[in-house]
Amino acid sequence: MNIIRRILISSAAMLLLACSTPESEFGVYRQSDGTVGVHAPKSAKDTEAQAAAEQECKKLGKRTATVLESRKTVNDRFPMTYIYLCR
């Protein structure tokens, strides 16, 4: 019973990961004012960009990332840039 549960959970996790944009596709950076910037690829969703920012915020000892700004860029690889405040 326990083995079946593990298999089901790992299968569900793989399906979710298969549908999301890989972390390596995001350009995440820290700015001098303490905010975190995220360059998002074309295929990324807003929630995926926020998750990437939250991971960077956790490295800084913060729990959440609140979007301050989002703007389109002229970069074909990263058409959206988001600025987040870590709290």
pLDDT digits (tens, 9 = 90+) for 37-87: 999 998 899 999 999 999 999 999 999 999 999 999 999 889 999 999 999
Question: Which tokens in the block code for residue 85?
Answer: 């405040």
Handedness of CA 3, 5, 6, 12 (dihedral sign): positive
Q: How many domains does the chain have?
A: 1
Rounded to an integer, what distance in angstroms lies between the CA atom of residue 43 and that of residue 53? 17
Q: Considering the entire predicted model, what is its pTM?
A: 0.72
Full domain range(s) for residue 22: 2-86
pLDDT in tens, 9-30: 665 555 444 455 666 789 999 9
Pairing of strands 65-72, 80-86: antiparallel
- Cβ atoms within 10 Å, residue 3: 7
Round to whole Å and give the CA distance between 73 and 53: 18
Taking alpha carbons only, the member of 33, 20, 41, 45 closest to residue 83 is: 33
